[in-house]
Amino acid sequence: MFEEIGTTAEGDLVINMGPQHPATHGVLHLLITLNGETIKKVEPHLGYIHRSIEKMCESLTYRQFIYVTSRMDYLSAHINNHCCALCVEKGLQIEIPSRAQVIRILVDELTRIASHELWWGAMAMDLGAFTPFFYAFRERETINDIMEETSGARLTMNYIVPGGVMADIHPNFQKRVKSFIQLFKSKVDEYDELVTGNVIFQGRMKGVGVLSKEDAISYGCTGPAARGSGVNCDIRKLYPYEIYNTLEFDEILETAGDSFARYMVRIREMKQSIRIIEQLIDNIPEGDFQAKTKAVLKLPKGEFYQRVETARGELGVYIISEGGTTPYRIKFRSPGFSNLSALDHIARAGKIGDLVATMGTLDLVIPDIDR
Amino acid sequence: MFIIDYIKEVYSAVKSLLKGMKLTGYYFTHHKEIITQQYPEVKQTLPERFRGEVVMLHDENNEHACTGCTACELACPNATIKIITKFDVSPEGKKKKALDTFVYHLELCTMCNLCIEACPTDAIKMAQTFEHSVFDRSLLTKKLNKPGSKIREGVE
């Protein structure tokens, strides 16, 4: 049963955090049971932004349903679209031109940087530092402009389609991405200078919200939240898709498992994304940007599953097809939902002041959790 | 020895705070470009691929390239587009299907670009507009083909 607001029989205080709270980054409702300042229980209440995306997809064709998935994890919209496109391509068994594969990975990694940057700014703002928010958005704006020029939208792109990408890259794309990575390399060091080395920041992050490796696995945590606890879970390394197996990059692992470890994973991951982009940006092969596909896509009868690594963790798309033009059932395994389920465990016995820092490092995107 | 460690810790803490303040101070005095725009007075030019709204292209003779094939209507995930067709009678007495009204519901559109991709004759495209706010919702339902327009010769 859900707890009521007020005081329990044992004299504990039950309070609300959200659904309208600046630190929950969306409509997440947490019911917190407190003994003094110590957290006894955190109960997330979901459903405030449920749009029944999975059910909606059942009435949309295989071309149409991809745009909806941009609205799940809107900070890694490209990667969501990528996963759906890969799953449909798996069913159709079509070969993707190598140019399209490279473009897809380039926009994926740019999205990852943009997502981590927004997280970095918002995370620092949760802890009371306002300047990092502006600095993060200043660089993120450059990525948004690049995306806008190539795909025509800033947030919900719908650029990756079954068979390749919707349009060829803009002639300015390579030039602008190169100037961006030049700029961004110095900026990451500035981020370290401004926030990572800050004594107040470290005091609030180190040793707070510890998630052990066993718990990370048993709660199904993925992405930077689990890699901060030392779990090998990078899908790009474990189950490489597209041409990730030919690229050189490191899987970032930290072993401490506290908030600071999760923070450092994301900061270091941005540098790895830069490394991937640097390998590809000058080597975009010539050719088509889209494979020839039929106007109406029909998947054969069967079940198809594809997973990718989004900025938040493992996203899985599971399609059951009856052989028609629309899927019979679609299930999304979203990373945010599993990561949120560990929040109660890691916040318990901590102080209420640390809850915001803990939640910030899990990098929750609420529409991704509710779908 | 405890007191020396303590002083060292305080020193490094103050140093780290000043380091951050130095960076903030640098940007405070060295703003290279002003990023914010004076929006209503100064308007940004949007890139040519920007998706603002669907428009139909008309040439100087008030002719468009839409055959009324409803490919865009079928491609649209949100039932944004409704195409009403009519039958044109040619001088030889042959009946031919043609576009009567291209209804576009801007309030339902998510700018996914699928209709533009589906169009076989490139009759529609995305316009680089973004100021769509109106006082009445019914104004968002638009008729895209201009009054009196007809299909261009030779477009099948």
Residues of chain A with CATH 1.10.645.10: 49-206+284-341+351-370
pLDDT for A3 equals 56
pLDDT digits (tens, 9 = 90+) for A34-59: 888 888 888 888 888 888 888 988 88
Q: A166, B113: Cβ pair inside 8 Å?
A: yes
ipTM score above 0.90? no
CB contact under 8 A, B49 and A149: yes
Instruction: Kindly tell me the sign of the dihedral angle through the C-alpha atoms of A217, A222, A225, A230.
Output: positive
Q: How high is the mean pLDDT of chain B?
A: 84
Coil, strand, or helix at residue B69? coil
Q: What is the pLDDT of residue A292?
A: 84
B81 and B104 Cβ atoms separated by less than 8 Å: yes
Inspect the interface and report whether the beta carbons of B77 and A150 lie closer than 8 Å. no
* Local confidence band at A211 (pLDDT 50, 70, 90 cut-offs): confident
pLDDT on residue A4: 66
CATH number among 1.10.645.10, 3.40.630.40, 1.10.1200.10, 1.10.8.60, domain A49-206+284-341+351-370: 1.10.645.10
List, as ranges, residues 138-197 from A with C-beta within 8 Å of B.
Answer: 138, 141, 148-153, 156, 158, 161, 166-167, 170, 190, 193-195, 197
Place of tokens 């919702």: B137
- Picking from A165, A152, A341, the residue whose alpha carbon sits closest to that of residue B54 is A152
* Two tokens, residue A94: 């079509």
Please state, in angstroms and rounded to a whole number, the distance separating the CA atoms of residues B150 and A268.
Answer: 59
Instruction: Please say if the pLDDT value at position A145 is more than 60.
Output: yes
Nearest CA among A65, A274, A66 for reference residue A180: A274
- A106-126, pLDDT tens digit by residue? 998 999 999 999 999 888 888
pLDDT value of position A1: 45
Task: Determine which helix (DSSP H) or strand (DSSP E) holds B71, and give its type and residue range.
Answer: helix B71-75
- Supply the DSSP symbol for A245: G
Q: B120 to chain A nearest CA, in Å? A: 11
Element (H, E) at B101: strand B95-105
CB contact under 8 A, B16 and A141: no
Which amino acid, B112?
Answer: C
In the predicted structure, residue A2 carries a pLDDT above the cut 60: no
Cα–Cα dist A10/A307, whole Å: 45
Q: For B77-120, what is each residue's pLDDT tens digit?
A: 888 888 888 887 777 777 777 788 888 888 888 888 888 888 88
H helices present in chain A, as ranges: 53-57, 65-69, 77-92, 98-126, 131-151, 173-191, 199-205, 213-218, 224-227, 235-238, 259-281, 335-341, 343-347, 352-362, 366-370
Q: Please indicate whether, in this complex, the C-beta atoms of A198 and B20 are within 8 angstroms of each other.
A: yes
Tell me if A67 and B23 make a contact (CB, 8 A cut-off): no
C-alpha span between A56 and A318 (Å, rounded): 15
CA dihedral sign, ordered A219, A224, A225, A230: positive
pLDDT digits (tens, 9 = 90+) for A284-318: 888 888 888 887 888 888 899 998 988 888 899 99
Please tell me the distance in Å from A197's CA to the nearest CA on chain B.
Answer: 6
Neighbour tally for B111: CB within 10 Å: 20
Interval A193-208 mean pLDDT: 83
Residue in A166, A190, A193 closest to B117 by CB: A166
Question: For A244-277, how does the pLDDT look when each residue is reduced to its tens digit (9 = 90+)?
Answer: 888 888 888 888 888 889 888 988 888 888 989 9
pLDDT single digits (tens) A311-367: 888 899 999 988 888 889 899 988 888 888 888 888 888 888 888 888 888 888 888
B114 closest CB neighbour out of A64, A141, A198: A64
Query: pLDDT > 70: what percent of chain A?
Result: 98
Contacts with A63 from chain B: Cβ below 8 Å: 75, 114
Query: What pLDDT, on the 0 to 100 scale, is given for residue B73?
Result: 87
**Interface mutation target, options A155, A158, A183, chain B, most CBs of B under 10 Å:** A158
SS3 of chain A: helix, strand, coil, percent, to 5 = 50, 15, 40
How many contacts (CB atoms, under 8 Å) link A and B?
67
| 3-class SS of residue B35 | coil
pLDDT at B135: 92
Is the per-residue pLDDT at A90 higher than 60? yes
